[in-house]
Amino acid sequence: MKHTINKETAFYIYPGKNPDAYEFFYILEGQIKCEDQDIILSVGDYFSVKALTELIFFEAINETTLLWVINEPTFRLISEDVFKLIQIVKSVGDKDRYTKEHSERVQSMSIKIGKYLGLSPEDTDNLIVASILHDVGKINVPEEILNKPDGLTDEEYKIIKKHPADGADMIKDTYYADISNIIHQHHERINGSGYPDGLKDEEITIGAKIIGVSDSYDAMTDDRSYRKAYTPEYAMNELKRLSGVLYDAEVVDALEEVLIEEGILNSN
């Protein structure tokens, strides 16, 4: 299977449940960096993986195409499910110019936050898929609402607020049914002011909390029809102001540390 990874997108390889599973990766285009070992692999390079005991994190230096071969029997099922859903996400991007690369940026940032927080392999696996698919339910939102340049009416806002539940419904009958709660909860806020269910703190999964912070940060630092992008400093200050109110404080702190490590923010 060929898999294309956008520039500066983080991804990972994780331990499988089957110790006999074997994965082979061959780089057809681009370059990737193994973050833990600071190794750069280029066109023609390849590597294989078997019996992993911990996550291996990578980042695409530029747009990269990998040839991926695996002998794990569930590979086809997983691939077909995720491929179909990602195509829907891309269709949403075609409807909404601001969503086009948003999901990939949210995924990349969510992975980095999850790594900083030391999530388990299972939670990381769920996060990586949920973060790229978090807005899949927007396929049911009319284009004129997604691209409306001014404020939404109450009725239009009700339609927008349905997308987490719609997305969860689209996931629940797939191989990744376990992530439906994360999709469903990514607009919940720890003080109960979020939607669709008004959940509070411990009722919200860690994956949804991470995606909620990544989603809000990316929304603030991206151009919109009604405003220019805010600076990373402004966005971070807003998240810190609402830390412990709307957003999980540990997740907000993790985002700040990630942005400092990447040189996007200065350390105080």
Q: What is the pLDDT of residues 14-41, one digit of tens each?
A: 776 677 777 888 999 999 998 777 789 9
Whether 78 has a pLDDT exceeding 70, the answer reads no
Alpha carbons 68 and 4: distance in angstroms, whole number? 10
pLDDT of the residue at 124: 85
pLDDT of the residue at 147: 85
Lowest mean pLDDT among 23-27, 132-136, 180-184, 205-209: 23-27
Domain 1-73: assigned CATH number: 2.60.120.10
| Greater pLDDT, 3 or 190 | 190
pLDDT averaged over the chain? 88
Q: Which helix (H) or strand (E) holds 145?
A: helix 143-146
Phi, psi of 83 (to 5 degrees): -60, -45
Alpha carbons 171 and 156: distance in angstroms, whole number? 24
pLDDT of the residue at 48: 85
pLDDT of the residue at 91: 86
Superfamily designation of domain 74-261? Hypothetical protein af1432 (1.10.3210.10)
pLDDT of the residue at 76: 54
| Greater pLDDT, 207 or 90 | 207
What does the domain layout of the chain look like in residue ranges?
1-73, 74-261
| Greater pLDDT, 53 or 195 | 195
